[in-house]
Structures are given as C-alpha cells and as structure tokens.
C-alpha cells in the first residue's frame, strides 16, 4: 500500500483529514456537510452484519444469481485515465470466481446497485439523515491492488468500508486550477499523484493534499466536487451511498472559489457575480440569477464547475 512518504508531491502540502469516532447528525451537517469538508468516521459501520458475513460463499449463496456489469480496465487498475475501459456483463457468481485468481491474472472489479437480498446486512446509518436527496446505493468490489485516477464526483459520497483497506488522497475543489483538469472527461485530472511529472504540471505544487486511510467498519464522507484518488488493498468491498448536492452546496463552493480568486474571471465579472450572490435572494432564485449571469457573460470556469447542473443550458 502506498505510504505518505512515497508520494512524489514536492512542494504540495499533505494533511490528514479530520477523524472522529462519534458525531451527531446536527454536528456532522453543521461542521462538515455545510462547510464542504471531508470527514473520516472511525467504526461508523462497525455494527453492520456485512462485516462478518460477506465472504464469497455467503455472497454467492445470497446474490450470485444477479447479473452485474464488470469493468475490465487495466489503465484504471494502474491509476491512469481509463481510455481502455470496457464493461462486461456476467453473473455475480462468475465475478466472485474471478476474485480467486492470482493477482495479475484479472483486472476485474464491479460497481453495481446493492442487491436487495443484502440490504438488511448494511442498514442506513444515522449520518445519512444529514442529506435529503439520495441518488443511489452501490456495492463496489475488487480483489484489491487497483488505483483510481484523480477525479471528482458531482454528488456527495458516504463511503462505507466493509472489507479490505483503502488509501485516499483528497483535494479541495478550490485547488482545481492547480490540477490541470481535462476537457473530456471534465471531472478527471491527468496528474499522477504517485509520480508527478513536474515539468508538465508545475502548478500542482500549490495544491493542498489531504489523506485518509480507511479500514473495515470506517465511513468516509467526500463532499461534492472534492478531488480524490483511491488505492485499494486486499479483497475489497465498499458500499457507496450517494446524495445529490443542494443549491446551498453549490453557492457555498462558488463563494469559496471567488473569495480565493480561483476562477478565471475579470475583475468586473467577479464583481458582477458577487453582486448576484449578495442580492438577498433565496437560494433557488440566486442559482437562477447566477445561471443568467454565467450565460450572458460566457463564464466558462463557472459553467465547467457546475456542468452537472447544466448551468450553460438552463435558464
């Protein structure tokens, strides 16, 4: 497993994210969700039956008949951008057989909806109540030894680790200008954080990196638009509970980016956006006003940031 000291991060700052054993829903919402800050909850799902039950035999007996889509990307397993990604449909029982092959003989992993027959083993946790709009609940499983390239998601994520270990490096959305984001896919960075090409990406040294090591029973909260790279070790099972971002999330992020000067805008464009944000409108009306401003002035950085809300198309 990658050690912090092995990261070729040069001038980049590396910090642990906040870690806690217990937190109330109100404190979690106030101090982390509302502030767009990640959090590691140690032992947050230690009571789940899944931790003790989900060996391959149990999973095969209870869910093996399901047909799942399996990724076959070697690039993704090596932490690169996965141009070679393919999906193969197979019975879950067949995928479980693949997990028993020696390392290097298969680069399969699966991400699917949590099977109905397994839901009782992995019930909702109290901190889920901090979110109002769930998207999906998926099960991600691999034999380990894989790395996922630096990217961000357009939703809030609660990662619940059932088996194996993961190391994540996370970067705040406000450091996006230092990550050389791609035009396609827009939510991926070409920077390999394990071996940074400083001649190609010199500005990466200005990014602040956060790290988190998660083990069975842990829960990691990743806020919307936070960049993250993932390394998995050993037979690995994670339940990912995703939630839509809210208008307040997007406005908070936009204000952070403006305050730090991280958007490529002229002084007038910044002032015009600040005027909209300080207009006293409610959140939904403010989002609409921001959309109008972005469209009328062709503010590409803001369009890109909120592409998942189709900011450039909807009035």
**One domain, residues 58 and 192:** yes
Domain-embedded: residue 315 = no
Q: Note down the domain range covering 272.
A: 247-309
**One domain, residues 269 and 228:** no
Looking at 228, 243, 258, which one is the last position of a domain?
243
Q: Is 50 exceeded by the pLDDT of residue 48?
A: yes
Say what the pLDDT of residue 13 is: 67
Number of domains comprising the chain: 2
CB 209 within 8 A of CB 169: yes
**One domain, residues 116 and 205:** yes
Of the two residues 170 and 309, the one the predictor is more confident about is 170
Say what the pLDDT of residue 45 is: 97
**One domain, residues 205 and 109:** yes
Q: What is the pTM assigned to this prediction?
A: 0.87
Say what the pLDDT of residue 1 is: 45
**One domain, residues 216 and 229:** yes
What b/e string do you get for 236-262 counting C-beta neighbours within 10 Å, with b at 16 or more?
bbbbbbbbebbbebbebbbeebbeeeb
Of the two residues 120 and 309, the one the predictor is more confident about is 120
Averaged pLDDT of the chain: 84
Domain-embedded: residue 314 = no
- Name, in order, each residue with C-beta under 8 angstroms of 86's C-beta and a sequence gap of 6 or more: 71, 72, 73
Q: Which of 53-67, 180-194, 223-237 has the lowest mean pLDDT?
A: 180-194
Domain CATH number, residue 181: 2.60.120.650
CA atoms of 205 and 138, how far apart (whole Å) = 34
Say what the pLDDT of residue 312 is: 44
**One domain, residues 97 and 237:** yes
**One domain, residues 53 and 70:** yes
Looking at 243, 266, 288, which one is the last position of a domain?
243
**One domain, residues 38 and 82:** yes
CB 145 within 8 A of CB 231: no
Question: Between the ranges 107-111, 114-118, 224-228, 280-284, where is the mean pLDDT highest?
Answer: 224-228
CA atoms of 250 and 248, how far apart (whole Å) = 5
Q: 191 pLDDT band (50/70/90 cuts)?
A: very high
Q: 74 pLDDT band (50/70/90 cuts)?
A: low
Domain-embedded: residue 24 = yes
Percentage of the chain beyond pLDDT 70 is 85
The count of C-alpha atoms lying within 13 angstroms of the C-alpha of 140, restricted to the half-sphere facing its C-beta, is 20
Question: Between the ranges 29-38, 182-191, 241-250, 275-284, where is the mean pLDDT highest?
Answer: 29-38
């Amino acid at each position: 497993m990658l050690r912090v000291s092995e990261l070729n991060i040069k001038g980049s700052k590396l910090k642990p994210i906040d870690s806690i054993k217990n937190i109330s829903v109100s404190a979690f919402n106030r101090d982390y969700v509302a502030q767009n800050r990640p959090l590691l909850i140690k032992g947050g799902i230690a009571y789940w039956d899944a931790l003790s039950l989900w060996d391959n035999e149990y999973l095969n007996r209870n869910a093996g008949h399901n047909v799942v889509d399996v990724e076959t990307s070697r690039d993704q397993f090596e932490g690169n951008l996965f141009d070679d990604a393919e999906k193969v449909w197979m019975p879950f029982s067949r995928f479980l057989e693949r997990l028993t092959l020696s390392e290097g003989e298969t680069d399969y992993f699966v991400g699917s909806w949590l099977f109905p027959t397994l839901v009782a083993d992995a019930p909702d946790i109290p901190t889920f109540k901090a979110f109002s709009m769930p998207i999906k609940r998926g099960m991600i499983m691999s034999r380990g030894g894989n790395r996922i390239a630096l990217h961000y998601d357009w939703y809030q994520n609660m990662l619940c680790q059932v088996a194996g270990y993961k190391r994540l490096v996370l970067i705040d959305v406000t450091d996006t200008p230092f990550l050389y984001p791609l035009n396609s896919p827009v939510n991926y960075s070409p920077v390999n954080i394990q071996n940074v090409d400083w001649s190609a990406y010199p500005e990466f040294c200005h990014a602040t990196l956060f790290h988190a090591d998660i083990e069975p029973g842990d829960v990691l909260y990743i806020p919307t638009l936070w960049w993250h790279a993932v390394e998995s070790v050993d037979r690995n099972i994670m339940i990912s509970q995703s939630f839509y971002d809210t208008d307040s999330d997007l406005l908070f992020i936009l204000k952070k980016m403006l305050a730090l000067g991280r958007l490529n805008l002229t002084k007038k464009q910044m002032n015009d956006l600040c005027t909209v944000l300080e207009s006293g409108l409610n959140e939904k009306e403010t989002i609409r006003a921001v959309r109008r401003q972005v469209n009328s002035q062709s503010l590409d950085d803001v369009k890109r940031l909120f592409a998942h809300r189709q900011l450039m198309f909807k009035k």
